[in-house]
Amino acid sequence: MNPTARGPSSSRVLTVPNGISAARIALIPVFVALIIDHDTTTAGLILFAVVVATDWVDGTIARRTGQVSDVGKILDPVADRLAIAAGLIALVLRGIFPLWAAAAILARDLTVLLVGAIALLRSDVRVEVRWIGKLATFSLMAAIPMVSWGNLALPLAAAATVCGWAAYTVGIAEYYIAAWAYLGDIRHASYRGSGPADVDPA
């Protein structure tokens, strides 16, 4: 979840953070195509890792430069979720990341997004970020490329595999704990009708 309630937002569209988010979305088909092609899988995996690792950049710049916008509140989380989902699907199709592991991540995201969307339609909801959600996302963003790197038998494959699965185990547990907490927050906020809507599952 993205705590966009930290400051006022504007209706501006052409901002640096929004440009970064748009660029990250534009890179999605690029790394997907690279991953699926056996000759360029490594390059695609590296690009995917860069795109998901920079998920904090647009939001941080927006807050520090006073460029928080209504468009950015939507574009930033959309870029994050699209990148992760597209990357997971490409890695599964390429055969270097297990389907069950990808499904566990995608099922959680889809559930929270659907519940959050329903809550937004019914009432104005503000849900604050939880540290465990951010930690879970960070762990999984590290785990996915590392596990895939190991399955490609690239340099330091064994170490990458061990570290990747360790990060995945911790991250997926935190991911579902955070999801349960966020769903509770959404339910309570819906009952209260607590002001501007800010639902961005992390």
> For the chain, what is the radius of gyration of the CA atoms?
17
**Total residues found in the chain within this entry:** 202
Q: Are 161 and 146 spatial neighbours (Cβ–Cβ below 8 Å)?
A: yes
Q: What is the mean pLDDT of residues 87-114?
A: 92
Residue 133: both structure tokens together:
């959600």
pTM value is: 0.79
The pLDDT value recorded for residue 160 is 96
- The tens digit of pLDDT for each residue in 55-91 reads 777 667 767 777 676 666 777 777 888 899 999 999 9
The first and second tokens of residue 168, run together, are 């995945």
Percentage of residues in the chain with pLDDT exceeding 70?
A: 74
Model pLDDT for residues 145-183, shown as the tens digit of each residue: 999 999 999 999 999 999 999 999 999 999 899 888 877
User: Cα dihedral sign for 32, 36, 38, 41?
Assistant: positive
**CA 127 to CA 124: how far, in whole Å?**
10
Q: Which of 74, 69, 57, 56 is nearest to 14 (CA)?
A: 69
